[in-house]
Amino acid sequence: MAQSSLENQLQRAAAKRVFFAHQSVGQNVLDGLAALAKEGHVAWRIEENGALTAPGLGHARVGENGKPAGKLEAFPALLATGPGKGAELALVKLCYVDFSADTDAAALFARYQAMVKQVEASAPGVRLVHVTAPLTTVQTGLKGWLKNTVGSGAYGERENVKRHEYNQALRAAYGAGLLFDLAQVEAGEGGGACRFTREGRSYPCLRPELTDDGGHLNAKGQQEAARALLEVLAR
């Protein structure tokens, strides 16, 4: 992205009141946004639990990792009476640890849709930015093959299948609006740079070069995710 284009996008985003509810990967994205603001020499107020009485990006931790339904239940209150009150744009991001091999992706997405309707009714001035769930790397090599052959499955595969099912439902329902497709950024251009095959079907995964621990984003991952979110916020 050219410097003038980056500066322009930053100025447009910084002029809005944005609220972001998240956990650790969300903080990775925020760190990337702060780095972009510094690079573009744009003063962008990014503040945790700060009141949105002026333009800026307010953010807060929501719920508990591993309990996605609780995160979705808590989000509307953050917009109505919490640090998200007064937001023009708002987003809530689930985490990769909110998905297990046994997650009912369809039921979880139905909870998300119910949350959207609740926000539309209780905070009609807020426009939601929908966020796909982040992915993880998958186990490869001999260990991965052995686990797929005689064990419970290679690390990350079954969980990424559930994340993909949820993300596909979200894209189908809200892809025509404001969508921050974090999972696509993580998997690569078109979601095709990192993929694995399970039971005859191909699924996306987190590119290893974007992470140091298999799930959280390193500096490169933070920058790529932040640039994608900035493009959405600047529209």
Tokens of 5: 């284009």
Q: Which amino acid is at 30?
A: L
Reading phi first (left if > 0) and then psi (alpha if -120 to 50, else beta), residue 86 is in left
Output the DSSP codes for 63-114.
Answer: S-TT-HHHHHHHHHHHHHTSTTTT-SEEEE---GGG--TT--HHHHHHHHHH
Range with lowest mean pLDDT among 20-29, 91-100, 195-204, 225-234: 195-204
Chain centroid offset of residue 13 CA: 17
pLDDT in tens, 80-137: 999 999 999 999 999 999 999 999 999 999 999 999 999 999 998 999 999 999 999 9
Can you say how many angstroms the Cα of residue 81 is from the centroid of all Cα atoms in its chain? 23
**What gap in Å lies between CA 129 and CA 109, rounded to an integer?**
15
Domains of the chain: 3-233 (3.40.50.1110)
Work out the angle at residue 160's Cα, subtended by the Cα atoms of residues 71 and 223, and round it to the nearest 5 degrees: 75
The pLDDT assigned to 201 comes to 94
Task: Report yes or no: 82 and 90 within 8 Å, Cβ to Cβ.
Answer: no
Yes or no: say if 40 and 10 are a contact pair by the CB < 8 Å rule. yes
SS3 198: strand
CA dist., res. 189 & res. 17, Å (int): 30
Say what the pLDDT of residue 50 is: 80
pLDDT tens digits for range 13-70: 999 999 999 999 999 999 999 999 999 999 999 999 888 999 999 999 999 999 999 9
| pLDDT exceeds 50 at position 178 | yes
Contacts of 110 (CB under 8 A, 6+ apart): none
Structure tokens that stand for 205 in this block:
């995964």
Give the dihedral of Cα atoms 214, 220, 221, 224; nearest 10 deg.
-160
